[in-house]
Amino acid sequence: MANFTFQLSRDARPISVEGYRRAARRRLPEMVWAYVDGGADGLVTMTANCSAFDRWRLRQRCLTAITTPKLGRVVAGTALEMPVALAPTGITAMSHWSGDVAVARAAERLGTRSVLSTGSSYTLEEVAGRCRQNHWFQLYPFGDKAKVGDLMKRAERQGYSALFVTVDVPVRGNRERERETGMAVPVVLTPRGMLDAARHPRWWWAWLRHKRVAAIHYIEASASGPSAGVESVRAQERYMQGDLSWDDLRWMRDHWRGPLYVKGVLDPDDAARAVDEIGADGVVVSNHGGRQLDRTLATLEALPAIADRVGDRAEVLFDGGVRRGTDVLIALALGARGVFIGRPYLYGLAVRGEEGVADILSILKDDMARAMVLMGCPDVAALDRSWLFPAPGTGA
């Protein structure tokens, strides 16, 4: 047997989320990279989402004879094989033409689920038709009740079993990098942008061939035209309405039979109101990956107070900055029932389509199992704050 192998391509399969991030950056045009990897204003909150995990250290118990820790968890009424699911992301096919279908199918392969965004590249029906399991649907609560009601009915008919209502986009965040690279409405073509396009022929070829870079639920009929992407963003802006209130959320609760979660909550008072007044089954502690209000709390900073306030009677879910299995364990120990990832799976999608998304989930799953063996923790259900120490000098 050979004692070594040759690896000639620098695009060989990455072994970490960061490795996939670097490979995705090479694959995607600058404009698309700005959309996928960017955030609001000075990126303070986006960066803090990741660094907040560094304020915690894990407890390590030895000689526990644990070899196969339990990672399964029931989240949103679905038994998952790992406590990590895929957050909704809009226009997923910008990362890879196979988009939301690939994302949902990869989630299923790892025994978990994805949340289809209102701003998806493939319709609710297309994704459901290519999957075996129930998935979940994310709804932007824009003012047009007829449109919202129609999307809810379609989701129910197609077997989406839980609804995630995103409440942190009353107006779009200021993503300067997107604007600088011409990712605007209409798209701005600069000489630099054209040079960049020439460097990414594979992406442009896929775009021309598959015509999937529009938020399809906003435009439907004209989705395949060359200007569909721009049209869909314009339509989304028309639908978006800043003066939405708790009454609108109540209307959605009244019209959706399954479990309902409010995504984008950072304040314990809002969490209590969503659960106790509106009857939400839970909340997702999220700041949209630092893409909306910059300088707001990192999600890990917001999590403990929300878990203390409603964790006894509602599901507290979490996203923002998770890049390692140990990040997942910290979030669970601070009171999350389950965790979502956003950008990490988009990196996987950009590099290797469905395989890449599945690989990202496998990396996190292996990370978690290995860390739990090393910690001497038998089951994710056993994780609580006794498994954490504040890192010295951080005031965590």
Nearest residue to ligand FMN, scored by beta-carbon proximity: 342
Radius of gyration of the chain (CA): 21
- The answer to the question of residue 36 lying near ligand FMN (CB under 6 A) is yes
N residues, the chain:
396
Residue with tokens 């995103």: 166
Give the strand pairing for 84-86 and 78-80: unpaired
* Burial 32-49, CB ≥16 within 10 A → b, else e: bbbbbbbbbbebebbebb
Segment lying near ligand FMN (by CB under 6 A), choices 124-132, 181-189, 233-241, 284-292: 284-292
Residue from 302, 290, 289, 318 nearest 383 by CA: 318
Please, which contacts does 322-325 make with residues 24 or more away whose CB atoms are closer than 8 Å? 322/84, 322/364, 323/17, 323/18, 323/50, 324/17, 324/53, 324/364, 324/367, 325/363, 325/364, 325/365, 325/366, 325/367, 325/368, 325/369, 325/370, 325/371
Which segments within 40-109 are labelled E, that is strand? 56-58, 73-75, 78-80, 84-86
Query: Residue 311 or 321: which CB sits closer to ligand FMN?
Result: 321
**Which residue of 31, 87, 128, 310 would you call a contact of ligand FMN, by CB under 6 A?**
87
Shortest Å distance, C-beta 103 to ligand FMN:
12
Name the residue type at position 340.
Answer: F
- The answer to the question of residue 88 lying near ligand FMN (CB under 6 A) is yes
Segment lying near ligand FMN (by CB under 6 A), choices 5-13, 308-316, 339-347, 359-367: 339-347
**Which residue of 321, 325, 335, 348 would you call a contact of ligand FMN, by CB under 6 A?**
321
288 is catalytic: yes
- By CB under 6 A, the count of residues binding ligand FMN is 23
Segment lying near ligand FMN (by CB under 6 A), choices 203-211, 228-236, 240-248, 340-348: 340-348
How many angstroms separate the CA atoms of 101 and 126, rounded?
8
How many angstroms separate the CA atoms of 124 and 118, rounded?
9
Segment lying near ligand FMN (by CB under 6 A), choices 77-85, 104-112, 227-235, 315-323: 315-323
Q: What is the 3-state secondary structure (H, E, C) of 177-234?
A: HHHHCCCCCCCCCCHHHHHHHHHCHHHHHHHHHHCCCCCHHHHHHHCCCCCHHHHHHH
Shortest Å distance, C-beta 373 to ligand FMN:
25
Shortest Å distance, C-beta 92 to ligand FMN:
8
Catalytic residue among 135, 200, 217, 288: 288
Tokens (6 digits) for 76: 């949103």
Contact track, ligand FMN, 132-161, x by CB under 6 A: ------x-----------------------
How many angstroms separate the CA atoms of 164 and 148, rounded?
13
Shortest Å distance, C-beta 370 to ligand FMN:
21
Segment lying near ligand FMN (by CB under 6 A), choices 175-183, 188-196, 338-346, 360-368: 338-346
Query: Residue 87 or 103: which CB sits closer to ligand FMN?
Result: 87
**Which residue of 212, 263, 324, 337 would you call a contact of ligand FMN, by CB under 6 A?**
263
Shortest Å distance, C-beta 191 to ligand FMN:
26
Shortest Å distance, C-beta 393 to ligand FMN:
25
Shortest Å distance, C-beta 157 to ligand FMN:
21
Say if residues 303 and 316 touch (Cβ distance below 8 Å). Answer: yes
Question: Under rule CB under 6 A, which residues in 193-212 are in contact with ligand FMN?
Answer: none
**Which residue of 33, 35, 142, 207 would you call a contact of ligand FMN, by CB under 6 A?**
35
- The answer to the question of residue 45 lying near ligand FMN (CB under 6 A) is no
How many angstroms separate the CA atoms of 363 and 350, rounded?
16
Query: Residue 223 or 375: which CB sits closer to ligand FMN?
Result: 223
**Which residue of 29, 69, 90, 304 would you call a contact of ligand FMN, by CB under 6 A?**
90
Residue with tokens 């909550």: 265
Tokens (6 digits) for 206: 């896929």
Taking residue 106's Cβ as centre, other Cβ atoms within 10 Å add up to 27
Say if residues 353 and 359 touch (Cβ distance below 8 Å). Answer: no
**Which residue of 319, 327, 354, 359 would you call a contact of ligand FMN, by CB under 6 A?**
319
Shortest Å distance, C-beta 50 to ligand FMN:
7
Provide the binding-site residues for ligand FMN, judged by CB under 6 A.
35-36, 49, 87-90, 117, 119, 138, 166, 263, 286, 288-289, 291, 319-322, 341-343
The set of catalytic residues is 288
